[in-house]
């Protein structure tokens, strides 16, 4: 994890804890003596791809450096029901304070990684790769995109700053494809920015306009039916990177990939994924035996 991500994670943890704790975890404070130590473990309850365990370790350590953590799995590994992925020993108050945030992150990230990995395996018979989108949970984009990467997918642009992606509304407001592309290339030149330009097209006619103009690196073929998508890919050839989007699901992803596009993008990887079932359990026997 680079320094930018570490900084984002620190801010995320602090914000999430403030949101959850308020002026105190009154349940734990009222029922468990201060300074009491215990042991707990994170338990997997369904098959999937593990993601977020490195983040979980960071959360535990940020909340309490004295917690002792024993990690048995790594991000990206397959996990099954009854697998214990990490054991925690130390302040019970700290363990319970971290519990919900750790589980929320691991469940969601593992759910995203699991779905992404299924799509990656499905497309393995083709040359097409799967991209994520900006359809993410506010404040959690860096975690959700990391989960896509762990699952074997490819991260598209992270935000509005690392690529120019000219979509239908940009084209319409700019007064057409030529105007939008001319303006985008002039902007990059004037601001001395080295980022790619991708443009969305809605028809073969728009595609031909883009090909005639040039000045882009990638073409987004949006909401094309299968027949038209195949035609569009043949027209583009190897001149530009192609991406298909719009209504792509696990059920039809392979059909889109077989059209020959370089990428398919799926908002469903992050905006409607089911979380993996994971829980944190105390280990009373080990709590009593470890002094």
Q: Return the active site residues.
A: 100, 135, 167, 200, 222
CA torsion 259-217-122-55 (nearest 10°) is -160
Number of C-beta neighbours around residue 3 at 10 A: 7
Q: How far apart are the first and last CA of the chain?
A: 35
Tokens at 225, concatenated: 């039916």
Q: Go through 185-216 and write b for each residue having 16 or more CB atoms within 10 A of its CB, e for each that does not.
A: beebeeeeeeeebbbbbbeeebbebbbeeeeb
3-state helix, strand, coil in the chain (%, to 5): 45, 20, 35
- Which pairing describes strands 197-201 and 129-131: parallel, antiparallel, or unpaired? unpaired
Q: Cα–Cα distance between 266 and 257 in angstroms, integer?
A: 12
Q: Enter the DSSP assignment of 21.
A: H
Q: Alpha helix (H) ranges present in the chain?
A: 3-21, 26-31, 53-63, 92-122, 141-150, 168-174, 177-191, 204-213, 226-236, 253-257, 268-271, 284-289
Q: Enter the DSSP assignment of 154.
A: B
Beta bridge partners of 222: 245
């Amino acid at each position: 994890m680079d320094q930018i991500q570490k900084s984002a994670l620190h801010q995320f943890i602090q914000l999430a804890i403030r949101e959850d704790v308020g002026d105190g975890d009154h349940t734990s404070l009222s029922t468990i003596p201060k300074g009491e130590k215990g042991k707990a473990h994170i338990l997997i309850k369904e098959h999937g791809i593990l993601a977020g365990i490195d983040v979980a370790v960071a959360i535990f350590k940020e909340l309490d450096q004295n917690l002792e953590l024993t990690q048995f799995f790594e991000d990206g590994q397959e996990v099954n029901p009854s697998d214990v992925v990490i054991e925690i020993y130390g302040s019970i108050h700290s363990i319970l304070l971290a519990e919900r945030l750790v589980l929320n992150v691991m469940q969601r990230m593992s759910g995203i990684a699991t779905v992404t990995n299924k799509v990656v395996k499905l497309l393995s018979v083709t040359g097409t790769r799967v991209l994520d989108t900006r359809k993410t949970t506010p404040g959690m984009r860096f975690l959700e995109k990391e989960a896509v990467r762990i699952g074997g997918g490819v991260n598209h642009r992270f935000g509005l700053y690392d690529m120019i992606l000219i979509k239908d509304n940009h084209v319409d407001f700019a007064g057409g494809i030529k105007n939008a592309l001319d303006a985008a290339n002039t902007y990059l030149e004037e601001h001395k920015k080295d980022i790619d330009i991708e443009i969305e097209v809605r028809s073969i006619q728009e595609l031909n306009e883009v090909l005639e103009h040039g000045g882009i690196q990638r073409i987004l073929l949006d909401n094309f039916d299968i027949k038209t998508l195949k035609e569009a890919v043949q027209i583009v050839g190897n001149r530009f990177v192609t991406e298909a989007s719009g209504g792509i699901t696990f059920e039809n992803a392979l059909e889109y990939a077989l059209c020959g596009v370089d990428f398919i993008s799926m908002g469903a990887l992050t905006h409607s994924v089911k979380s993996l079932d994971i829980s944190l359990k105390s280990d009373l026997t080990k709590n009593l035996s470890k002094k």
